[in-house]
Structure 1
Amino acid sequence: MARGSSGIVAGLTAAALAVVGVLAYQASANAPDSVAAPGPAASVTATGQAKPTKKAEPPAVLPADSGTGKRVVYALADRRVWLVDEAGKVLRTFPVMPSALNPQPGTYRVATPRQGPATKGSDGVMIEHVVRFATVDGVSVGFSAAVDGSMKSPDPSLKTGGVRMSRTDGNAMWDFAAVSTAVIVVP
């Protein structure tokens, strides 16, 4: 009888070790990065597909000759905006999707009361946090965020003036750019 029970104990021990091994693997696969062992350059999704690693984007440098004091700087070629305080410190920078109609480089001012509630943009998309600063070919040009968070390229056949940004960046623009705030447009 002693022999039979030692076989059972060995079998149970082997099964327990297998269970512990599976649980250890699952725990290591779900561990936060702060405690997990370093992994390969690309992580793997739950479906086994490799996810590309995200490269750190170099900080965007405020364009030279973009004014002084509190201002919004809009670089057309870079498709980027900077919010700059009175001391010349960049508070925030972010990418934007230019409108179909772009203002000429120069100095503009936020000229109309900011529009808060969601409204329909000139392209038919529901937008919020509209900050208008220019007019091109009779169309108002301003910064806004699509309510659905999209930043699609504008239809070039439409005369639209919405410079789109993410909702988070739209909130920051809304809080920063009051009426009369300078908007410096650079090439």
Structure 2
Amino acid sequence: MPARLPSWAWVTGLTTGAIAAVVVLAVQADQGTKPVAATTRPSASATADAKPSAKPEERKPAVPADSGAGRRIVYSLGEKRVWLVDASDTPRRSFAVWPGTVAPDPGTYTIGKRTPATTGSDGVPVEHIMYFAQKSGVFIAFSNAVDGSSPPPAEPDAQTGGIRITKPDGKALWTFGSAGTTVRVVE
């Protein structure tokens, strides 16, 4: 009859195996992504108590009064902002922009040519390009950088007509602004 192992040998073997499994899992976990601490400081209005507070309602900028009526894209030169306005005059989206060095004159335009992707005059790959004006031989269009970056400051003598927007806003504008869509430029 074969020799029987004592119970202490079984317990020792199982314990050793469990410890080895925990060590393997700990090493794998240590190689994963690590949480990053926030680098922003709390605002001056932050309170010391831990009571949850209601999130303040985000104030959306109003569509400029002199921007026309109906479905349109509104571009404010002074506010450096665009609104996508539906047929019932309800703003569906609003976002900040980075204008080029050549600005269109205030007035009413329409989206003409749409180009899915190209390289901007500053050498940056751009997408969702929607041309709507021309001034001093420079074409003016909305676009977003493919990598989502904002444009670097233009050279003082550069003639750029690209109005850059963020990548998510570029997708929204591309969907909203088909060829023939009205663009109203206001001060």
State whether TM-score is above 0.5.
yes
> What is the rounded CA distance, in whole Å, between the counterparts of 1:147 and 1:59 in structure 2?
27
Kindly indicate whether the alpha-carbon contact (under 8 Å) linking 1:82 and 1:90 is maintained by their aligned counterparts in 2: yes
Greater Rg, structure 1 or structure 2? 2
Q: Percent of aligned pairs with the same residue?
A: 46
Q: Quick one: distance in 2 between partners of 1:57 and 1:143? A: 25
1:69 Cα deviation from its structure 2 partner: 0.9
The equivalent of 1:160 in structure 2 is: 160
Q: Deviations over 1:34-86 (max 9, x none)?
A: xxxxxxxxxxx627x54345x87521110001011110000011010000011
> What TM-score, normalized to structure 2?
0.69
Aligned to 1:121: 120
Q: TM (normalized to structure 1)?
A: 0.69
Match of 2:37 among 46, 60, 78: 46
Q: d(CA) in 2 for partners of 1:106 and 1:50?
A: 42
* Residue aligning to 1:61: 62
| Amino acid paired to 1:46 | A
Q: Is the 8 A contact 1:100 1:154 kept in 2?
A: no
Aligned length: 140
Dislocated runs of 4+, deviation >2 Å:
49-53, 55-58
Structure 1: stretches of 5+ with no match in the other structure: 1-44
- C-alpha distance in structure 2 between counterparts of 1:176 and 1:167, whole Å: 14
Which residue is 2:140 aligned to?
141
Partner of 2:111: 110
Q: Could you list the per-position Cα deviations for residues 15-46 of structure 1 after superposition, in whole angstroms to 9, with x for gaps in the alignment?
A: xxxxxxxxxxxxxxxxxxxxxxxxxxxxxx62
Asked whether the equivalents of residues 128 and 146 of structure 1 are also in contact (C-alpha less than 8 Å), the reply is: yes
What per-residue deviation string (whole Å, max 9, x for no partner) do you get for residues 120-171 of structure 1? 0111111000010000111110000011211235413211110000000000
